Structure 1
Amino acid sequence: MSSHQHCDLSWINRAVQIIESDYQRSADTHLIKLDNHAFDGVDIYLKDESTHPTGSLKHRLARSLFLYALCNGWIGENTPVIESSSGSTAVSEAYFARLLGLPFIAVMPKSTAKSKIQQIEFYGGKAHLVDRSDQIYAESHRLAKELNGHYMDQFTYAERATDWRGNNNIANSIFDQMKLECHPIPSWIVMSPGTGGTSATIGRFIRYQQYSTKLCVVDPEHSVFFDYYQSGDANITLNRGSHIEGIGRPRVEPSFIPGVVDDMIKVADAHSIVTMQWLHQHLGRRVGPSTGTNLYGVFMLAKQMVERGEKGSIVTLLCDSGERYLDTYYNPQWVSETIGDISESRNHLQQLLS
């Protein structure tokens, strides 16, 4: 975090106005109903967050983080902004930093998709690469101190920066868009954790509005959230990052709030990839790998609902477009080298959907 700086109030007012007017120009994102023949009586919806100006769900988070930092007086007219990110948040923050004319540096693991680094640079930001994903935090702190900048720290502030009571947040938007559907109050909303901020917002909103909807969080391999949820041990760490870019963490992040989560499912990487590929065929356009993780969780819950004879709806998020991952998750050679053989998972998915 930056040292206390007395920011010029007129500049802050102007900065907030710039971000708010950008929001005013933006439309809401679509809620797509999936054609679903496998799970009779269960309607499945995808909230398509890939249509934001910066192409992902993280556009909402970046906007909230900038407003939070501005209103706390942490960012002034020339403050360099530093963020630790595995990609999408940094792309979105670079966009808002450019709107405000601020220098932006993203501290990211070397494994981050090249196209994300190019997008950060497109918006005038710089990528600062480290060897491993668990090194991004300390390096971000160090850079912020050295440059007298502000470390945005999405992993701490994601759950605080968004107003979960309403006020145009993603949960509010989902329930508004579901109003005319056959099952307007979803049985489940499914989300994967990166910071944990979106699941915190959705879970709190559900409780605040007194809905009967349950929140299921799906965690990829090589991530600590599922184990933390089971054990309550916040000190669990891993010495490597998740293979599913943008979700899963090697340590328990402060923004992950287990008390708002009703269930968690651990999803194998191969299941995430084949579900992503299935959705690509099904929608006629590419989606990112975390959407595969989300949708696999939806299929598991839908199967359980059908087995219990329940009818209802399940909503999940299409987090970003697959165009960012052409050289990784859509490259069969990369998949076989990084994830391994996915043919068994493909058979498993076919059985699940038959």
Structure 2
Amino acid sequence: MRGAAPTDCSHSCLSDRLPSGPDPDRDWSRQAIELLLGDARRSADTHLIKPVFKGLPGISIYLKDESTHPTGSLKHRLARSLFLYGICNGRICPGTTLVEASSGSTAVSEAYFAHLLNLPFIAVMPRSTSDSKIAAIRQFGGTCHFVDHAAEVYAVAERLAAETGGHYLDQFTYAERATDWRGNNNIAQSIFDQMQAEADPVPEWLVMSAGTGGTSATIGRFIRYRNLTTRLCVVDVEGSAFYPAWKSGDMTVTTPGSRIEGIGRPRVEPSFIPGVIDHMIQVPDAASIAAARVLSERLFRRVGGSTGTNFFGLLLIAAQMLREGRTGALVSLICDSGDRYSGTYYDDAWLAGQGIDIAPWRERIEAFLDQGRDLCAA
């Protein structure tokens, strides 16, 4: 009969029956995402601190304090995003071994989330990584695999993921895409929401350093998406490839690597998006560490070396604004706590061994903050 339904259920298009009953992997994924979203609700809005410096009239400085996350750093946001990205792409399932290449802070945060989801975790990192970060990774049940040179972490992490049948989280590739840069309470939206009731709600500049490049990509894209006049300055450190690549336009640049943990890379990472950056500054390591120490004393608690880099870059912009008679707000980040670096940046013997003299920079910074004396004057 014309239009009659076929009765042969062995026909090839009907031979694969729909699955019936619950899917354990999907059930696990739903539970895992709920745990991650619960963490996000509890920890997304970190404090925006406003220290006052007598030497900077008309310039308001704000510091987004990412050290208060449960794992103590800005990388907590990135790690959560990478886990959500991996789960939603079907790459993280029950029992998946997770592997990451890291200089420490991202691995600490990822170890925390792996522990939360009861998944094995391996961090591939340089031997020079601070002892406190190594201890934190192990405390969360993670395993540390050490390499002699920072440039080796990528290949080793990829190999370990293949050998274990696991998933390489690969922060340096996926940082710029795992976070929703248009909003969804990312760090950029959080900053601008917190600035709304301030005297200058739209900052002149937002200043930050780059590790993966993912956070600068998120912030730079958000600024453009919201059509804001704020400009983004990325500060880089000695031995890093980001600044020379941005300046020359050659993204194949390689360098020795950074002494400031968590920022600066020996190569230009895939998540570094130069097109969203308005300006870059290269900061000497001695200036970064001096700035971290001075800021720590003013905040009554220690901040890390990358925060010192951020703060010094912000002060350079403030100095130019003062010279030009301009006022406004500047925003930067407190990336992590300086307690993780008691054996390095806060150890005078370590500084001497590295040939780093912070005294001249410290004097300049303090004179600028207290008296407005030109930061660039000899």
TM bracket, shorter-chain basis:
over 0.9
Q: Does residue 317 in structure 1 map to residue 333 in structure 2?
A: yes
1:273 pairs with 276, 285, 289, which one?
Answer: 289
Structure 2 match to 1:36: 53
Shift of 1:7: 8.5
Shift of 1:15: 1.1
Shift of 1:344: 2.3
Q: C-alpha distance in 1, partners of 2:182/2:24?
A: 29
Preserved CA contact (<8 Å) 1:162 1:201? yes
Shift of the 208–339 alpha-carbon distance from structure 1 to 2, 3 Å rule, reads farther
Q: Does residue 177 in structure 1 map to residue 194 in structure 2?
A: yes
Shift of 1:44: 0.3
2:154 pairs with 115, 137, 143, which one?
Answer: 137
How is 1:239-254 mapped onto 2 (pairs within 5 angstroms)?
240-254=256-270
Preserved CA contact (<8 Å) 1:7 1:75? no
Q: Does residue 155 in structure 1 map to residue 172 in structure 2?
A: yes
Structure 2 match to 1:296: 312
State which drifts further: 211-220 or 344-353: 344-353
Q: C-alpha distance in 2, partners of 1:26/1:34?
A: 22
Q: C-alpha distance in 1, partners of 2:208/2:201?
A: 18
Deviations 1:192-244 (A, max 9, x none): 00000000000000000000000000001000101111111111112x32011
Structure 1 match to 2:85: 68
Preserved CA contact (<8 Å) 1:107 1:129? yes
Shift of the 133–209 alpha-carbon distance from structure 1 to 2, 3 Å rule, reads same
- Residue type of the alignment partner of 1:280: S
Structure 1 match to 2:129: 112
1:284 pairs with 300, 304, 314, which one?
Answer: 300
**CA root-mean-square deviation:** 1.2
Q: C-alpha distance in 1, partners of 2:355/2:139?
A: 30
Q: Does residue 48 in structure 1 map to residue 56 in structure 2?
A: no
TM-score normalised by length of structure 1: 0.96
Is the partner of 1:59 in helix, strand or coil? helix
Moved over 4 A (4+): none
- Residue type of the alignment partner of 1:233: D
1:236 pairs with 211, 230, 253, which one?
Answer: 253
Q: C-alpha distance in 2, partners of 1:275/1:135?
A: 30
- Residue type of the alignment partner of 2:198: E
Shift of 1:350: 3.4
- Residue type of the alignment partner of 1:165: R
Q: C-alpha distance in 2, partners of 1:25/1:55?
A: 14
Shift of 1:10: 1.7
How is 1:254-273 mapped onto 2 (pairs within 5 angstroms)?
254-273=270-289
Structure 1 match to 2:217: 200
Preserved CA contact (<8 Å) 1:273 1:292? yes
Structure 1 unaligned regions, length at least 5 = 1-5
Give the aligned length.
348
Structure 2 unaligned regions, length at least 5 = 1-22, 372-378
- Residue type of the alignment partner of 2:52: D
Q: C-alpha distance in 2, partners of 1:164/1:350?
A: 36
Preserved CA contact (<8 Å) 2:175 2:213? yes
TM-score normalised by length of structure 2: 0.90
Q: C-alpha distance in 1, partners of 2:358/2:74?
A: 27
Q: Does residue 80 in structure 1 map to residue 97 in structure 2?
A: yes
- Residue type of the alignment partner of 1:80: T
Deviations 1:138-186 (A, max 9, x none): 1001100111110000000000000000100000000011111110100
Q: C-alpha distance in 2, partners of 1:278/1:25?
A: 31
Is the partner of 1:25 in helix, strand or coil? helix
Is the partner of 1:8 in helix, strand or coil? helix
Structure 2 match to 1:335: 351
- Residue type of the alignment partner of 1:65: L
Q: C-alpha distance in 2, partners of 1:288/1:95?
A: 20
1:214 pairs with 204, 212, 231, which one?
Answer: 231
